[in-house]
């Protein structure tokens, strides 16, 4: 029987996976990026659905107990927000550069006469 | 055959005039040589100095980085339909007398992209620069699968095919490695030609630093994951 935390986290993570897929389909995410983020979010889904696995991993890593639900949630949400923010900032930066470049290419027409013809 | 010399420049008022005027007036087999300087939002008199010596100057209203300036140069090269594009650094570290040597493999249809490499002969470059370059070459090979002796060289030549197909994305210094990604993606023929860099106190101060290299590495890593 799944707890409410498990259900809401799974739904959220599935939403994250869908966003990754849509970004990949839209061409703003590379294949490698798509694979990386898909593996990351799907691993999180597995960890949420089978918490025993995380306890086993925790034992292997010498932590001794699985991380609690609040910590899980925070990390997953932060990861997703960082991903969104990163893509968003990158898009804006590229758009600014494109704009600056286009303006530069438009403005110099009057200087064309000065083009050095050696 | 029409040649365009593209020079990205950011706060280079000291050297830009000399760099532009040093470009050869005639090169065998080239019918026309044009020079375009992209002033990447300089706060000094780079724009005025470059205009004064007769170059076409495209001015970025704000600083966008080396990659941004190169993107504008490529867009201009496509617009003016030139056959060969050569990019040079504005700090005077490249001897423009090497231009005929760098464009020769393109002129004879042996290559689409030629890099003027500083490292195939015994170099007098500072140790820090040698280490940075070696690391950058390894990263470029691991990330993009193209072996090179000088991934960070700003002295490059591109054929018409390369000019048309290269799609640069990066805004910063990581664009130098991104060129190799595009060489691989477009299956362009790549060659290296030895050049002798002119290291001055000024050009060394302007070059890549270790602190910046770490940033470039992370930018490349993020670029792979985006």
Instruction: Tell me the pLDDT tens digit for each residue of A10-42.
Output: 998 998 899 888 888 887 777 888 888 888 889
Q: What is the mean pLDDT of chain A?
A: 78
Q: Residue A118: inside a domain, yes or no?
A: no
Q: What is the mean pLDDT of residues B157-181?
A: 92
Tell if the CB–CB gap between B55 and A30 is shorter than 8 Å.
Answer: no
Q: Residue A83: inside a domain, yes or no?
A: yes
Q: Is-contact B120 B149, C-beta < 8 A?
A: yes
Query: What's the number of domains chain A is made of?
Result: 1
Range from A42-56, B62-76, B133-147, B202-216 carrying the lowest mean pLDDT: B202-216
Q: Which CATH architecture has domain B2-225?
A: Alpha-Beta Complex (3.90)
Structural domain boundaries in chain B: 2-225
Instruction: Tell me the pLDDT tens digit for each residue of B109-143.
Output: 999 999 999 877 676 667 777 788 888 888 888 88
**The domain containing residue A25 runs over which residues?**
4-108
Q: What is the mean pLDDT of residues B200-205?
A: 71
User: Which pLDDT does position A118 carry in this prediction?
Assistant: 43
Q: Residue A21: inside a domain, yes or no?
A: yes
**Cα A42 to Cα A15: distance, rounded to the nearest angstrom:** 11
For residue A24, which residues of chain B lie inside 8 Å, CB to CB? Answer: none
Q: Which range is most confident: A25-39, B74-88, B111-125, B206-220? A: B74-88
Q: Residue A115: inside a domain, yes or no?
A: no
Put simply, whether B32 touches A (Cβ < 8 Å) is yes
B24 φψ region: left (φ > 0), alpha (ψ -120 to 50), beta (else) = beta
CB count within 10 Å of CB B208 equals 16
Which strands make up the sheet holding B2-9, listed edge to edge? Answer: B56-60, B32-40, B2-9, B84-87, B156-158, B113-117, B190-194
Residue ranges of B 45-74 with Cβ closer than 8 A to chain A: 51, 53-62, 64, 67-68, 71-72
Residue A91 has, within 13 A of its CA and on its CB side, a CA count of 11
- B98 pLDDT higher than 90: yes
Residue A68 CB-density burial (10 A; 0-12 exposed, 13-18 middle, 19+ buried): exposed
Instruction: Tell me the pLDDT tens digit for each residue of A50-80.
Output: 888 877 777 776 666 655 555 666 777 788 7
- B217 pLDDT higher than 50: yes
**Cα A115 to Cα B22: distance, rounded to the nearest angstrom:** 15
| DSSP state at residue B146 | -
Q: Residue A114: inside a domain, yes or no?
A: no
For residue B224, which residues of chain A lie inside 8 Å, CB to CB? Answer: 30, 32-33
């Amino acid at each position: 029987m799944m707890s409410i935390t498990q259900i809401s986290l799974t739904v959220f993570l599935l939403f994250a996976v869908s966003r990754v897929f849509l970004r990949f389909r839209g061409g703003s995410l590379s294949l490698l990026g798509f694979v990386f983020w898909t593996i990351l979010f799907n691993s999180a889904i597995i960890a949420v659905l089978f918490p025993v696995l995380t306890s086993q991993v925790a034992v292997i890593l010498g932590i001794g107990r699985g991380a609690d639900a609040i910590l899980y949630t925070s990390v997953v949400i932060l990861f997703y927000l960082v991903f969104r923010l990163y893509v968003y900032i990158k898009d804006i930066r590229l758009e600014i550069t494109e704009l600056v470049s286009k303006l530069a290419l438009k403005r110099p027409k009057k200087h064309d006469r000065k083009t050095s013809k050696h | 055959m029409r040649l365009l010399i593209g020079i990205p420049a950011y706060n280079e008022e000291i050297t830009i005039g000399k760099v532009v005027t040093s470009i050869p007036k005639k090169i065998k087999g080239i019918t026309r040589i044009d020079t375009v300087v992209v002033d990447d939002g300089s706060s000094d008199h780079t724009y005025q100095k470059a205009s004064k010596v007769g170059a076409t100057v495209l001015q970025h209203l704000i600083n966008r980085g080396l990659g941004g300036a190169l993107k504008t140069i490529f867009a201009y090269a496509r617009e003016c339909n030139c056959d060969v594009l050569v990019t040079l650094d504005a700090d005077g570290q490249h001897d423009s007398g090497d231009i005929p040597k760098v464009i020769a493999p393109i002129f004879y249809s042996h290559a689409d992209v030629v890099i003027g490499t500083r490292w195939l002969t015994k170099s007098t470059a500072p140790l820090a620069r040698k280490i940075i370059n070696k690391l950058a070459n390894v990263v470029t090979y691991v990330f993009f699968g193209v072996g090179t002796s000088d991934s960070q060289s700003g002295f490059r030549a591109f054929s018409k095919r390369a000019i048309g197909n290269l799609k640069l994305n990066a805004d910063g210094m990581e664009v130098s490695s991104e060129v190799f990604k595009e060489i691989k993606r477009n299956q362009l023929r790549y060659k290296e030609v030895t050049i002798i860099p002119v290291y001055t106190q000024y050009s060394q101060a302007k070059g890549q630093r270790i602190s910046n290299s770490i940033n470039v590495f992370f930018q490349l890593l993020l670029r792979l994951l985006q």
